[in-house]
Chains A and B, each alone.
Chain A
Amino acid sequence: MIIFMVSLLVILMLIAAIAACVFKDLLGAVIASCLVSLIAAVLFYILQAPDVAMAEAAIGAALVTAVFIIAIIRTKRHEE
């Protein structure tokens, strides 16, 4: 059961990572990279590293996303 869940999460994480690279809409790419961080946090928790999971969720999913979105506000939303 846990193997099934972990493999599902890893596949989702891979899809999100590829999406973050491929998307031309940079806001969508930022959200996809946020999803990567979020799933990484869940995986860290499953791997019994709750300290790292908390840091990853707070920094990777919240703060880095905020910084990227501020950068998008200052530049352009769509990649040429």
Chain B
Amino acid sequence: MRIIISILLLVIIALGITLSLVIIPFNESTTQVGEYYIDNGVEETGATNIVTSVVVNYRGFDTLGEVTILFIAAVGLGAVLATSKKSKAGKKKIEPASLVVYTGCRFLFPLIILFGLYVLIHGHLSPGGGFQGGAIIASAFVLIYMGCREKRPAMVLTKVIESIGGLVFIIVGLIGLGIGGYFLLNFLPGGVPNTLLSAGIIPIIYIAIGFKVGSELTGVIDNLIEESE
């Protein structure tokens, strides 16, 4: 009896999925919103990278949600690991990395940071932006933790940068609310597209997001590594 019911259920589910897949028109656009962004995105926001104008301007509120999720995840990890850290007394001496790793990390760190900052600042012009740049910067700090642990950043500093990044995002959004009546209004002038100082509030918000994401992910790595000693 149970077998018959489960087979029946499977058939119903399979039928439902195939029928709905048949209905979906693949390879042709059903909504006009994507085409609208491609056609009018550059004039409306001033950002040459349409993806950035969607992420920060048209769908800026969703991005605030994403940033909040990342923040809560980092805080939760810190909270969970901090309780187990307190119970352990005495720190073990860390074994220094080999000369090759040490030199390689010190050589690559500024280059990766430079690339991360480039990606982060040019988010409205070229592919990339806050999330990508922040992740690149965090991966540079992973190198620091691998090679020369004694040069690791102060965790208080990363927390301050993280808080300032989040605050800048929300304050810029609230200024838009005060001036034009809705949250995250692009109140600054668009400027000439394809120049660094264009697209109004988009670069400000994306740079804030970049610093926030970078310091948050660095904090996550720091929490895990300090725990693992």
> Which positions in A face B, CB cutoff 8 Å?
50-51, 53-55, 58-59, 62-63, 66-67, 70-71, 73-74
* Docked-complex contact A63 and B131, CB < 8 angstroms: no
Where chain A touches its partner, the secondary structure class is: helix
* Docked-complex contact A67 and B132, CB < 8 angstroms: no
> Which positions in B face A, CB cutoff 8 Å?
49, 51-52, 119, 127-129, 131-132, 135-136, 138-139, 142, 217, 220-221, 224-225, 227-228
* Docked-complex contact B135 and A59, CB < 8 angstroms: yes
| Interchain residue pairs A-B with the least CB separation, the first 9 | A50-B127, A58-B135, A62-B139, A54-B132, A70-B224, A66-B142, A74-B228, A51-B51, A59-B135
15 extra interchain contacts, Cβ-Cβ under 8 A, other than A59-B135, A63-B142, A70-B225?
A: A50-B127, A51-B49, A51-B51, A51-B127, A54-B128, A55-B131, A58-B135, A58-B139, A62-B135, A62-B139, A63-B135, A63-B217, A66-B142, A70-B228, A73-B228
B26 to chain A, nearest CB (A): 15
B121 to chain A, nearest CB (A): 14
**Given A54-B119, A74-B227, CB of A63 within 8 Å of CB of B127:** no
* Docked-complex contact A55 and B132, CB < 8 angstroms: yes
A55 to chain B, nearest CB (A): 5
Tell me, in angstroms, the Cα distance from A8 to B93 when the chains sit together: 46
Tell me, in angstroms, the Cα distance from A55 to B213 when the chains sit together: 12
Q: List 20 A-B contacts (CB under 8 A).
A: A50-B127, A51-B52, A51-B128, A51-B129, A53-B127, A54-B119, A54-B128, A54-B132, A54-B136, A55-B132, A58-B132, A58-B136, A62-B135, A63-B135, A63-B217, A63-B221, A66-B221, A67-B221, A70-B228, A74-B228
CB-based A-B contact count at 8 angstroms? 47
Tell me, in angstroms, the Cα distance from A67 to B49 when the chains sit together: 31
Tell me, in angstroms, the Cα distance from A51 to B131 when the chains sit together: 9
Tell me, in angstroms, the Cα distance from A67 to B131 when the chains sit together: 18
Tell me, in angstroms, the Cα distance from A53 to B224 when the chains sit together: 26
